[in-house]
Amino acid sequence: MKILYRLLIFLLIFGLSSAYAQTPAPAKDSKEKITIAQFGKERFLLYLPLYVAMEEGIFTKHGLTVDLKFAGNDDQIFAAVISGAAQIGVGDPVFTAISHDKGGPGKVVAMMLTNLGVGGVAIDPKVPMIKTPDNLDGLRIGSLPEPSTTYTLLSGVKKHYGLNLQIVQAPIDGQAALVEAGKVDIAVVLEPDASILEDKGFRRVFDLAKWTDPQVITGFTATEDFIKAHPETIQKVVDSLQEALNIIYKDPQVAYRTGKKLYPNLSDKVVHTAVDHMLSENMYPHSAIVPDELWQRTLKTRLDSDELKKPQATTIAVDNSFAIQAGKDVGVAAP
């Protein structure tokens, strides 16, 4: 019922997007100002390419001024885009497909994350290292709330392997408190929280990415109306993302530097550990283009959870034209 309620909200605010499409284009003689709605309530290292583009002046070089807003859970990100509160959404892009499932709008214009960089941490020494999903049987695990990607993937693992696994939902950033209070055996947390907790003596007992196939975990989304009205703006945004993806793999020092700017109170050791984990696991793609295989895998995850009611062709909710052009603009071959 919660998912149905959220989808009904999408349809109610859908009508606002038409009015938003009438917003005049930014003045040609000034930096274009755009609002990006991001998952959560704070910056996560998960979204490192976005922050590199901001902190290293890449958006500025492409003529953009970015106002970053934190919009909550994954479904709320796309709701902000549909309502016109933000021009670009950064979160689980599958909600464009869910929107189309109900007759609504939405396009994914770029891909930023292909594996979910979350770690399972435990404080109780009796909790074993989780080497296979079967090792989770009989345990309690703290998760971000549904319909987050984390919750959906954990539910998929539970169902696929037939586990007696209790998934305990907590508000965003509330997972560590669950394990500290003994309410769960393992808390699933994002970076840099996993590395911070490790530094405090917690044990990282598993990585969810090892049990899930690569898919489009995070993307940049927009409405068709905004794309049609402001294609140059979308191209600047996607060019900036592609350039940031290039840089973090070419020069990890840039990634470390951005991480330190984001978390000035963390030690270099923790920042480097967190960044290295993200890069070594190939969480970020080399190209912002959304491959058909990865998108269909994303859809299957939500079809299995019954959040998406019927299959869709990739082209319904994905517009790769900007990412293809971005590859040409900054010198990246299509995958």
* Backbone angles phi and psi of 94, in degrees to 5: -65, -20
Residue 125, judged by CB atoms within 10 A of its CB (0-12, 13-18, 19+), counts as: exposed
Question: CATH homologous superfamily for 118-211?
Answer: Periplasmic binding protein-like II (3.40.190.10)
Q: Is the separation of the CB atoms in 123 and 202 below 8 Å?
A: yes
Taking the model in full, what pTM does it have? 0.81
Q: Which class is domain 2-115+215-330?
A: alpha beta
Going by C-beta distance under 8 Å and a sequence separation of 6 or more, which residues neighbour residue 4? none
Q: What is the DSSP letter of 332?
A: -
Residue 259, judged by CB atoms within 10 A of its CB (0-12, 13-18, 19+), counts as: buried
Q: Do domains 2-115+215-330 and 118-211 have the same CATH topology?
A: yes
Q: What is the pLDDT of residue 335?
A: 61
Q: Taking CA 40 as the corner, what is the angle to CA 36 and CA 43, rounded to the nearest 5 degrees?
A: 70
Q: What is the pLDDT of residue 332?
A: 67
The one-digit pLDDT tens for each residue of the chain (335 residues) are: 444 344 444 444 333 333 333 333 444 446 899 999 998 777 888 899 999 999 999 999 999 999 999 987 778 888 999 999 999 999 999 999 999 999 999 999 999 999 877 788 999 999 999 998 899 999 999 998 888 888 888 888 898 899 999 999 988 778 888 988 999 999 988 888 888 888 889 999 988 777 778 899 999 999 999 999 999 999 999 999 999 999 999 999 999 999 999 999 989 998 998 888 888 878 899 999 999 999 999 999 889 888 899 999 999 999 999 999 999 887 765 66
Distance between CA 228 and CA 148 in Å, rounded?
29
Q: Which DSSP string do the residues of 174-227 spell out, in sequence order? A: -HHHHHHTTS-SEEEEETTHHHHHHHTT-EEEEEGGGGS-----EEEEE-HHHH
Q: What is the pLDDT of residue 333?
A: 56
- How far from 284 is each of 154, 206, 241, 309, CA to CA, in Å? 20, 19, 11, 29
Give the Cβ contact number of residue 131 at 10 Å: 10
The residue ranges of DSSP E strands in 56-139, in sequence order, are 64-72, 88-91, 107-113, 118-122
Q: Is the separation of the CB atoms in 298 and 213 below 8 Å?
A: no
Give the Cβ contact number of residue 107 at 10 Å: 26
Q: What is the DSSP letter of 86?
A: -
Q: What is the DSSP letter of 31?
A: P
Helix, strand, coil abundance in the chain, percent, nearest 5 = 50, 15, 35
Q: What is the pLDDT of residue 2?
A: 47
Q: Is the separation of the CB atoms in 102 and 317 below 8 Å?
A: no
Question: Where do the structural domains in the chain lie, given as residue ranges?
Answer: 2-115+215-330, 118-211
* Backbone angles phi and psi of 20, in degrees to 5: -65, -30
Q: What is the pLDDT of residue 230?
A: 97
Among 47, 49, 100, 59, smallest CA distance to 78 is for 100
Distance of CA 299 to the CA centre of its chain: 15
Distance between CA 108 and CA 294 in Å, rounded?
13
Q: How many residues does the chain have?
A: 335
